[in-house]
Structure 1
Amino acid sequence: MADMTPSEVTRLQTTLQRLLGSPKLTVNKPSRKGMSVELAVAGEVIGTVHRDEDEGEVSYAIHITVLEEDLPAA
C-alpha cells in the first residue's frame, strides 16, 4: 500500500463528493505515516481509504463501517 499525495487526497475527495452527492464528505490524510486515510461525513469518520498500485494502474478501495447501534429501529 502506497501513501497518497496531498493532490491525490484532494482529487479523490472531489470525485467522491460528486459520485456520492455529498459536499460534507471529506478524505483526511493521517497525521502519522503508516496510518489509514480516513473517510468522514460532517466530521464523523465512517471508514478508510486504501490506495493500491498494480502494474502501473492505481485504484482506491473504500471500507465503510456501519455500527448496528446507528441503524434505525426495526
Structure 2
Amino acid sequence: MTKSEIERVQAYLRRLLGTERISVVPPKHAGMSIEVVVGDEVIGTLHRDAEDGEVSYAVHLTILEEDLLPDAGPAPRPVTPKPRSAR
C-alpha cells in the first residue's frame, strides 16, 4: 500500500470516528502488517483488496479477552425519539 493510500485511509477513519487519536502506521519492515493504532495501543490491521478493477480497504480489529472488563453488563438500549404531538 502506498503512503498516500495509508494517509487517505487514516483521514477517513479519523473523520468517520470523530477522533484524531487513530493512526494508521506503515510497517517498519517489508512484509509486515499495516497497523491501526489508537493512542499507544494497536487495535488491528489494515488490508488492501484490489479485485475486478475495484479497490477496497478492510480493517481487522482484534480485541483481547484480557482487555475486556469482567462484566460490562447489558448494552444500553438505544434512545428512540418521541414523535412530535399533533398541534
TM exceeding 0.5:
yes
Q: State yes or no: 1:59 paired with 2:56.
A: yes
| Cα deviation 1:21-56 (Å, max 9, x = unaligned) | 221000000011111100000021110000000011
| Counterpart Cα distance in 2 of 1:6 and 1:25 | 16
**What is the aligned-residue identity percentage?**
55
User: Larger C-alpha radius of gyration, 1 or 2?
Assistant: 2
| SS of equivalent residue, structure 2 residue 31 | coil
Moved over 2 A (4+): none
User: How many pairs align?
Assistant: 71
Q: CA RMSD in A?
A: 0.8
| Counterpart Cα distance in 1 of 2:30 and 2:14 | 25
Matches within 5 A, 1:1-74: 4-74=1-71
TM-score (structure 2 length as normaliser):
0.77
Which structure 1 residue ranges, 5 or more long, are not aligned? none
| SS of equivalent residue, structure 1 residue 34 | coil
